[in-house]
Amino acid sequence: MLTAKLAAKTHPQHQTILNISKTASIGGEELLIIGGPCTVESLNQMEQVANHLAHTSVQVLRGGVYKPRTSPYAFQGLGDAGLNILSTINRHHNIPTVTEVMTISQIEGIVEHADMLQIGSRNMQNFDLLKAVGSAGKPVILKRGLAATIEEFVMAAEYILAHGNSEVILCERGIRSFDNYTRNVLDLGAVVALKQITHLPVIVDPSHAAGKRELVAALAKAGVAAGADGIMVECHPEPEKSVSDARQALSLEDMAALVESLRPIAAAVGRRVPVAKMGQQLAVA
């Protein structure tokens, strides 16, 4: 394949392990579990999420503050105010956060307030943005484009690597097809292929693939069984009231149950769900 000089696996054991925080890493035996709402809606909402997930093995909180919405009339995210919420949550709960960057001018603020950047599907081939996060100095979750080939996906990662950032995580989140029963088609073949051809950690986002909460847990398990290094799942204190992606949001209780249900699947493929560490960490405020 291709000319992915930096993303390509050079020998069978070639695997990048990234440290996300003192206790969380990705690419080794332990899976990285990322959870949280589609959109940061309020400090209270994020406190509820963090308090609940503190007793689980979720190690990174997600939440969008700059949102790529199909309609210009839909809620576009809290913007900079949302970044302050993320850093407050990080201070209170000592949990790393990830949020989406849509444009170059947002990088600086996100790097200041969050621990990881996410490049969404709609920006997977925004080459100027890919180049710019090359110097962000923080891990980047790169989501596969809505109809991107595996080669295009790997080459998008290559842009970030080639511009100086070696901390790239690939995220399979489903691709467009003809059937609208599911929102997208979770391409598990791509997960297997990416693990074979690149050394980068690969995660699965079953939420945007499924589009329906009742499909999410089984797809998360399938992702782990296929060799993913982690999962990213949307959950919310009141799922039906989510301002975006309500239909696919899990309750916090269902999120906790999902994480536990991954343990035997992980063990079957030589992986481990991390112990629930956050509950032992003291809130500092």
Least distance from Mn ion to the Cβ atom of residue 184, Å: 12
Least distance from Mn ion to the Cβ atom of residue 256, Å: 20
Is residue 120 part of the contact set for ligand PEP (CB under 6 A)? yes
| CA distance linking residue 57 with residue 220, whole number of Å | 15
> Residue 144 corresponds to which amino acid?
R
Q: Given the structure tokens 């962000």, which residue do they identify?
A: 136
Which positions from 212 to 251 touch Mn ion by CB under 5 A, shown as an x/- string? ---------------------------------x------
C-alpha to C-alpha distances, 147 to 5, 67, 185, 255, nearest whole angstrom: 23, 20, 10, 28
Q: Binding residues for ligand PEP, how many (CB under 6 A)?
A: 9
Query: Applying CB under 6 A, which of residues 24, 26, 31, 38 lies at the interface with ligand PEP?
Result: 38
- 32-36 vs 60-62, strand pairing mode: parallel
- Pair of tokens at residue 16: 């990048």
Least distance from ligand PEP to the Cβ atom of residue 122, Å: 6
User: Closer to ligand PEP at the Cβ: 64 or 134?
Assistant: 64
Q: Given the structure tokens 């691709």, which residue do they identify?
A: 175
Q: Residues 50, 53, 57, CA angle at the centre, nearest 5°?
A: 135
- Pair of tokens at residue 159: 């842009």
Of residues 207-266, those binding ligand PEP (CB under 6 A): 208
149 Cβ contact list (under 8 Å, min separation 6): none
Which positions from 145 to 184 touch ligand PEP by CB under 6 A, shown as an x/- string? ----------------------------x-----------
| Span near ligand PEP by CB under 6 A; candidates 26-34, 43-51, 117-125, 263-271 | 117-125
277 Cβ contact list (under 8 Å, min separation 6): 23, 57, 59
Q: Which partner, ligand PEP, Mn ion, none, binds residue 28 by CB below 5 to 8 Å per kind?
A: none
| CA distance linking residue 130 with residue 103, whole number of Å | 10
Of residues 16-55, those binding Mn ion (CB under 5 A): 38
Which residues in this chain contact Mn ion in the complex, by CB under 5 A?
38, 245
Which residues in this chain contact ligand PEP in the complex, by CB under 6 A?
38, 64, 68, 120-122, 143, 173, 208
